[in-house]
Structure formats: C-alpha cells, structure tokens
Structure 1
Amino acid sequence: MKRIIYIFLAIFLFASASAQDITESAKKVKSGVVSSEYDRNSFTYLGIDFAEQFSGQACAQLAKLAVPEKFYDNTVDVKVLSAPSQREAFSVTTGLVKRLSDEKVIDLLHQNKIGQKIIAKWFNRQPNGTFNVDLLKERGMFNANDADFIIASASKRGESALMDMGMGLINKSYVMVLDYDNLMTMEQVYDKGEVPADKRTMNGFKATVNAYVYKLNFNDSVAAYFFQDYWTSAPDQGKASAFEAARFPFIPVQHFQQEVMGTQFNAGHALAPKVQKTGDELLQTLTQAAHQAIINEAEKKNDDFRVKAFVSAVKPIAAKIGKKEGLQFDQRYFVYENRERKDGSVISERRAVVKAMKVVDNRKVTTGDSEASLFYQIAGGKVDAYGMFMEQKNDVGANFILGYTDGGLGGINGRLEYYIGKAFYKAGNLSKGLTSLKLYVEGGVNTEPYDYGTFTDADFTFLRFSGGLSKDYYLTNFIHWGPFLGVGVESATWDGSENTISSVFVEGGARLGINLSYNIQLIGSATYYAMISSEETDSADAVVEEEVDYAGIFERGDGLGISVGLRIMF
C-alpha cells in the first residue's frame, strides 16, 4: 500500500503542475473576446486536376461528397478545375511547407467563373439573365433563430426583416478546393518502402489531400457594385454580359493538409471484407476520410464555422440549437460569459464545459418557440441564462488514462477510452443512459520474481490486455464516478524458459474522478479481478499444462486491485 501512496503523490504533483500550465494558457485565451454571433455559412466543393495518375478518377468522387447539414450547399455546375500547368509551376514554398499558390488557384476560380456561379445561385439567376430573391428569402428565414423571430415580429416589417437576413449570408460563402497530391496505390506504397511480399496485406490508395478554403468577398462595396451594374429583374443583355465578364474577389482563409488512406485487406486475409470494394469505392472512402478531418480542423481554427448559441435555460442546461446546426449527441461545447473590466474593455471567460444529451430536430423555419437541445455539465462553475452563451469546441471523443494498480493484477497500466453513445442515439430523445458511454481497451505490465516448478526466484514479466464498457456519471461539476465491466487476458513469461502461462479473466469495478482542469482528472479506481482459466504452453503453442493455479502461484489475480492515475480527455 505504501507503493500506491507514493505513486499517488507523484501523479498528484505532476497533475498539479500540468493544471497550473493549463490555467496560465487559459488566461491567454481569455484575453480576447469570443463572439456570440453565429450565422449559417455555405460551401462550394471543387477539385483541382493536374492530370496526374488517378487524379481524374479521384476528383470524380467529389460529386458524391455531401456538404454537411450545418452549411448551405452552394454546389455549382463546375466540379473540377483543370490546372493549365504541372503542379511544380503552380506551387510555392511557405516556410517548410510546399503548397499551391493562392494567387494561381484564385485565378482558376475566376477563369471558371466560380464567383458568378455562387452569386447566381444566391440570387436565383434565370436563363434570361434576370435575378430574384426567392432563395435569399428562404435561406434568411431558415437561418433565423427564436430571438431573431421575436425582434422581427415586434418591428413594423415583421417577417420581411427575417428575409433580409439572407443578404448577410452571401458574405459567408466559402469555396473548398481539394487537391489530391502524391496519390498512390498500396502496391506502389509497398514498392517504395521495399515491403516484403508476405507483409503486403492491403490494397487501395494513399494520398496527401490538401484543402484550400477561400471566402467570396461580398462586402457592402461589392454588393453595391453588384446591384448597380449587374442586377436586373427584366432581361438586359448589357448587364448580363457585364456580369459574365466580372471578377468577384476571393479571400484566402486557410490551408489544411491530411494524410489519408482508402484501403481494405486483400481477399483471403482473415480480416478481408466478404466482397472487395472497387477502386472508385476506395477512393470515395479516402475522400470522405479527408473531408471529415478537414471540416473538423476548419471548425477548430475558424470562428465562422463554430456554432454559437445563448444558454436559454438551466436545470438542465439548454440552448436552441439542434440538427440544423449539426449538433451531435455527446458533442462538446464551452460556455462563456463576457465581462467588462475596470478599464471598460470586455473579455470572455469560460464558465463551464458541457456536452449534448438531447439533440432536437429543428430543421425548419422558426416560429419563435423552438424546442431546445439539452446538455450535461462536465466541468466549470455555475451556469445561468442571463447572457451566457455556448460555442462549439469539438473533441476527438477519446480519453487516455495512465496509472498504477496495487493488488489484483497489479502494475503500471494504461487505458484508452472511446465515446460510443452517439452511435446508438436517436434524435429527439433524452438519453442520459448513453451519455459518456465508452468502449475501453486497457493494457498493463509488471515484473516480479517468483518460484515456479524448477525455477527459483525467476524474473517474471506479466503483460495484461482487456476490453469492455464503462460509463461516467457526474455527481457535481467537477466530480464523476463510473462503473466498468470487461474481459481480458494476462500472459506470464520468465527468464530461462520459452513457455508462457496465459490466463483469461473478467474485471469489474468503479472509478472516481476529480477535475484538475476541464480535460484532466485525477482518477482512483477499485477493480475486482476473477480468473476464469489458466494454461501453460510452449514456444510452439502446444499445451504443457491445462490447469495452472495462477492466483496461488503468483499471488495475483483473484481479488481487489486499487489504482490511481491521471486521465486526459482529447
């Protein structure tokens, strides 16, 4: 027990230092102001083709790529930009990163009239060159929240004011240009790495996918120019020709890069699918993986892409967002409060961290009394509905625990947890039973001397692996507990022998966690281990002894283990 006390003190000191660093980092974040404003953005997806191997085939998959529901879909009739020169002539080096030139990509956007096509979509341009505001009104109404509706209803113009909101949405039009660089088959990857034939277990594709995000600049001056020189509600050939010749400005926003694969095990392999996917299907898998990773990065790095909403109620915490904003079950949000300093400046302070436990389907025009989604709190202080607001803060949805166990199957152990509740959630339901539901995989190692058979004081190495389900229940804003249940295998090897003793066991117990910061907890747990069977095998996996008294020989196994550790949430 002394050992676990020493481990506890070491972890506590390390955690305290880590928490202090995080606190200092948080102060820097709070020095700015987090905007509480949010409107739906729109996306247009395009590919760029350098006529390299498989690039045309890969770009063809973009037609199957769906714009996420939280964005308006500004798909145009051009899907692929054909580069007029080779990649090298299109590239620049920024620092250590080689990438496509924004200037040349934007020039391609102009050559393909992407700006005109996006504006034509917003203003519902007709074949005769006339414009109308039908789509603009529809999107303005759909974008409005309850607060917008109430304010508009109190004004003289009523719902017409909501329709006007569509004008502001045009300036939130984005273009994502995807570039498949270094696209190779797995056979080519294996050849490049000189991988032996017996290790070539997969087929498919690997690539570096670059995403270049640009914003259509439709600010007040550009809008004024558009209405003066191009807008017409009656056929006007002069204005129609001028619109076709125009160049609407684009602003570079961000460059993202992802190493991705679309692969499967070869036919005949134990893990191979029953039916092998085609090359196009594997390229689609690669494209989808890159797209999801890029959207996550874009939401993390660009304020416009993160959903925000005011807290509308507490007990439970609620906000009037839902599927329309892309809200997902167990998705993380930060709760902020803007405060004024003595010098008159305003800062945003993070007051709490919450996760969604009920996601409403609000994909309709508001009538002023929309149902709210509900959240549970995992960190922070008191939340109120008097000006506090939420901001989307995506996480990986995984935790890692490193600790030490004394008793039972003791030793150093690490656990990886992955949140799985969203896979079983049905929109509209309040599902507390699925919140913080996790699948876990745990590993442990220990070395101790034991007597066994003809071996005296031999050095044994114990390796343990287990997996199961766990769930967290939050008792307060900073304390949680959680039961878990799993099954595992431990193997014992020792110096001077090539034999192995393997044991199957079940484990069950509970953990208690205390927040050191919103994403770091000090964890204590009690685990009961029950050995099911043990056998000894030789180096050829032949059974030497069918039943081994594992707990009796090694004084480990059946019984209670007490653990302390540190959990980091990603």
Structure 2
Amino acid sequence: MNKFTLLGLTLLAAVQIHAQSKNPEIDSKYRRSSLYKMMIDDNSRSYADVIRNSFLNGPDQEKFNNHNLGLRTIPATDAKDESANIITFMEANNIARDVVAKWFDRSAKGGFDMELIKKRGSYDASVLDIAKAKSSKRGLDMLSDAGEDLIKNTFILVNDFKYVSKEEVAKKAGGFMSLAGNIGAAAGVSGANEMASNATEAVNVAGKGYVVKTTAHLFRLVWNEETAAIFYNDYWADDKTITPERKKAFDDSKIFKLEYIGSDVSWADVQSSSFSQKTNEQLIERATNKAIDAVIVKLQKEHDEFKTKTPLFTGEPITAKIGLKEGISDKSKFDVMEQQQDADGKTKYVVVGSIKIDDSFPIWDNRYGAADENPDNKTDKTYFKKVSGKEFFPGMLIVQKKGK
C-alpha cells in the first residue's frame, strides 16, 4: 500500500457537522480559509514605524484562520509597482514551502503531523481506527477532502501602505479641494468619491485628518493532486521515522507554488475632529487596520474563492456575527448553505435558501475602533429576513452573493 493511502488513516474521522445544531457556540468550529498577512516595509514613508507596528500588532481577521509565519515584512524597492519585488521575495524565501510546513506542524527534526489539520477541519481523532483504515478508499477521500477544503484555501495577502495627509493635499490644491472626493483623488486614493456622502459633509472633513491607502496583492497556495502525492510519498515522515534524506528533500524542494489571484486598492479615513483626545499615531493605527479590512472586502467581491463563510448565530430571528467591517449594506444578499457529507465522507456545501438584510434593525458596526467612534451602538449582530428556504438553524453558513 502506498504512503499516500496510509496517510489517509490519520484523517479518518467523522466530520462534525454543525448545520443542524441549535447551539450558537459553534461559531468557532466551521472550516475557515487561512490567511497569511504580509506588508511592504518602506522606512522612507511618513509614519512608517507607526504603520508597521499597527500592522504587525493588529487584530486577526476572525473570519480566517491565522496562518502567519515569522516573516511578515518585505523590503520596499524604488519601483512604482511592487508586484515583481513581492514575487521575487516570496520565491527567494520559500514562502510557499513554509506555508505547507506550518500546515503539517513541521518540527525542528523535520517530522510532520496532522494536528493542525484535525483542529481546523474538526476531524475527531478519537474515532481513528488504523486497522480498519489500512486499505480504505475512505481514508484517501478524507485526505483529499482536507486538501481541497483546508490546505488549498490558504491565502497570502501583501499590503503596501501609504500615509496621505488631507490637509497637505488641500493646501497644495487650494479651493478646488473643498470636496473630500477631490482630495482623495488627488492623493491617489481609489474610490475617493466615497469619502463623503454629500457636499456638506465633504466641506467639514476637508483639510482635516488623513487617509491611509493600501494596495493589496492576493496570492493562493497551489495544493493539487500532484503536489499532494509528491508531498506524502517523498517528504512525509513523523519525528519517529524522519531520515536525513527526507528532511533534506523537503528543505530543497521547489514544487510548492503560489498563484496570483488579484490586487485592489482601498483606504481608510479618520477625522482628527472625531477623536479630539487621540494622537496622530493612534489615528494612524485605526486607519491602517481599517484599510486592511476594507481591501479584503473589495477582494472578496471580485474573487469568489476568497469569500468567507459565516455561521448563522440564531435561526429565529435570523442573525449573524457579521457587519460593516465585512462591507455589509442594506442591499446585501446571502445564500444560506448547509454543510453535508457524501457517501465517501467528503464535505460539500448545499444551498438551502437565501436571506437579505432586515432594514428594521441597524447593521452591526463591527469596524476597528467602532466602540470609540460610535459609543451609542448597542447591537452585536446583524439581522436578516428570509427570502427563500425552510427553517434555518444556528451554524448554517451564509455566503454573500456576487456583486451584492
């Protein structure tokens, strides 16, 4: 029996299907995509240290598994577009290989295990039966399932930040800059016309505060049948069976790759007048983290594979822990999906209905710093109305429809 099949035994488990659960605490147990966040580090830019520290110490994206490695920054070049620099850096530093190593808990000895995959995939190790798994097709199917549903959905997001003072831009442009949209446009901020909803608001923010702009580049780990077969057959060993030859084979491997998904630009604006007691450094910290959230939303709207699933928090009324941070608006619509297993034990998601925003309730403002910016906000979830489908339960997953 080949080693690829043998490894299947370590994943033989009943996937804990929570779709019919009525326990809201399942929120942490559904299968998330994994995200590794990096940034371009340019010491010559304004507030470079503040932006770097804000990025490195900022909160996790809770809709993703944290797959960060120790290497988080990429030195900047003089190029206007850092895309080539990013690719060169990631190849030179074997980022794809090290992302795979983290998935399999590679030790200092060079051995691997399946503990992280079991944890993130909710595979129950207590039901493993090696004797029954030795010649089981189900074992191979479960391994394939983990690869398709977990490892393959590993993304690397590289942010390139710039700090732009609206006051400085306004002084250079004079009266023309009375509109915040024009300020943003002159500053090179994508979507700057969104900076104010009307001219009155625009006049109020003109010349105050700043924006932090990020250009984000999104990559995805290539994990296919060929790559998996080479890994399990040529590199895999645990700490008890690892040999110097296998350790070196993985160390020297060049089979692991990243594929480019796309890039987008976003920004975050915080008026200095909104936080009269906040320092510039504190305002920049807020804007940096808001810019990350905003660009992730934009990338998800354009790339379905990057969209996250969110479990329903309650089924009646229909609520979920999702809000303005995820780009939700009163026009947002979602498919409701149920997680199921087929006869071979592989996971699939079946659409069982659809929902839309319930406009009789405010959308949850869960953006970074929202508690300070909107202290009167009392809600901690968003409410929805059923468009189609039967009864919904906590734990069923919702995915925002394309373009909504």
TM over 0.5: yes
> 1:41: Cα distance to partner?
0.6
**Is the 8 Å Cα contact of residues 202 and 263 (structure 1) preserved in structure 2?**
no
> 1:166: Cα distance to partner?
3.5
**Is the 8 Å Cα contact of residues 136 and 163 (structure 1) preserved in structure 2?**
no
**Is the 8 Å Cα contact of residues 337 and 352 (structure 2) preserved in structure 1?**
yes
State the alpha-carbon separation in 2 of the partners of residues 288 and 383 from structure 1: 38
Code of the residue aligned with 1:228 in structure 2: it is N
Cα RMSD, aligned residues only: 4.8
Which residue does the alignment assign to 1:95? Answer: none
The answer on 1:175 being equivalent to 2:168 is no
**Match of residue 67, structure 1, among 43, 60, 73:** 60
Change (3 A) 1:55 1:105: farther
Map 1:312-391 to 2 at 5 A: 316=316, 332-334=333-335, 352-355=354-357, 377=385, 380=387, 383=390, 391=398
**Is the 8 Å Cα contact of residues 34 and 64 (structure 2) preserved in structure 1?**
yes
CA-to-partner distance for each residue in 1:531-553, whole Å, 9 max, x for gaps? xxxxxxxxxxxxxxxxxxxxxxx
| 2:120 aligned counterpart, secondary structure | helix
Code of the residue aligned with 1:212 in structure 2: it is H
CA-to-partner distance for each residue in 1:236-278, whole Å, 9 max, x for gaps? 344334433434211111211113334413xxxxx652x2324
Which residue does the alignment assign to 2:219? Answer: 214
* Mean CA deviation greater in 326-335 or 113-122: 326-335
Map 1:145-156 to 2 at 5 A: none
State the alpha-carbon separation in 1 of the partners of residues 140 and 382 from structure 2: 29
Map 1:176-325 to 2 at 5 A: 176-181=157-162, 183-194=163-174, 204-233=209-238, 234-247=241-254, 248-265=256-273, 273=276, 275-279=277-281, 281-307=282-308, 316=316
**Is the 8 Å Cα contact of residues 212 and 291 (structure 2) preserved in structure 1?**
no
User: TM-score if structure 1 supplies the norm length?
Assistant: 0.43
**Match of residue 78, structure 1, among 61, 71, 76:** 71
State the alpha-carbon separation in 1 of the partners of residues 317 and 351 from structure 2: 18
| 2:218 aligned counterpart, secondary structure | strand
Which residue does the alignment assign to 1:464? Answer: none
**Is the 8 Å Cα contact of residues 168 and 207 (structure 2) preserved in structure 1?**
no
**Match of residue 137, structure 1, among 103, 106, 118:** 118
| 1:211 aligned counterpart, secondary structure | strand
Change (3 A) 1:135 1:283: same
Change (3 A) 1:239 1:48: farther
**Match of residue 107, structure 1, among 88, 102, 124:** 88
The answer on 1:42 being equivalent to 2:34 is yes
Change (3 A) 1:63 1:199: same
**Is the 8 Å Cα contact of residues 180 and 207 (structure 1) preserved in structure 2?**
yes
Which residue does the alignment assign to 2:400? Answer: 393
State the alpha-carbon separation in 1 of the partners of residues 45 and 391 from structure 2: 57
State the alpha-carbon separation in 1 of the partners of residues 321 and 397 from structure 2: 13
> 1:384: Cα distance to partner?
6.7
**Is the 8 Å Cα contact of residues 151 and 223 (structure 2) preserved in structure 1?**
yes
State the alpha-carbon separation in 2 of the partners of residues 199 and 70 from structure 1: 35
Bigger fraction of residues in helix: 2
State the alpha-carbon separation in 2 of the partners of residues 244 and 203 from structure 1: 52
| 1:255 aligned counterpart, secondary structure | strand
Bigger fraction of residues in strand: 1
State the alpha-carbon separation in 1 of the partners of residues 399 and 205 from structure 2: 41
The answer on 1:123 being equivalent to 2:104 is yes
Larger Rg: 1
State the alpha-carbon separation in 2 of the partners of residues 304 and 39 from structure 1: 14
**Is the 8 Å Cα contact of residues 236 and 246 (structure 2) preserved in structure 1?**
yes
- Unaligned stretches of 5+ in structure 1? 1-37, 92-99, 145-149, 266-270, 338-347, 358-372, 397-569
**Is the 8 Å Cα contact of residues 81 and 112 (structure 1) preserved in structure 2?**
no
CA-to-partner distance for each residue in 1:69-127, whole Å, 9 max, x for gaps? 221110110110113x3123xx3xxxxxxxx43x5422221223221221121111112
State the alpha-carbon separation in 2 of the partners of residues 262 and 76 from structure 1: 30
**Is the 8 Å Cα contact of residues 140 and 163 (structure 1) preserved in structure 2?**
no
**Is the 8 Å Cα contact of residues 31 and 120 (structure 2) preserved in structure 1?**
no
**Is the 8 Å Cα contact of residues 352 and 383 (structure 1) preserved in structure 2?**
no
> 1:354: Cα distance to partner?
3.7
Which structure's relative contact order is higher, taking Cα pairs within 8 Å and 6+ residues apart? 2
**Is the 8 Å Cα contact of residues 123 and 134 (structure 1) preserved in structure 2?**
yes
State the alpha-carbon separation in 2 of the partners of residues 128 and 188 from structure 1: 55
State the alpha-carbon separation in 2 of the partners of residues 259 and 87 from structure 1: 21
Code of the residue aligned with 1:132 in structure 2: it is D
How many positions carry a matched residue from both structures?
297
Counting aligned pairs with the same residue, the percent is 20
**Is the 8 Å Cα contact of residues 335 and 351 (structure 2) preserved in structure 1?**
no
State the alpha-carbon separation in 2 of the partners of residues 374 and 260 from structure 1: 23
**Is the 8 Å Cα contact of residues 129 and 235 (structure 1) preserved in structure 2?**
yes
| 2:169 aligned counterpart, secondary structure | helix
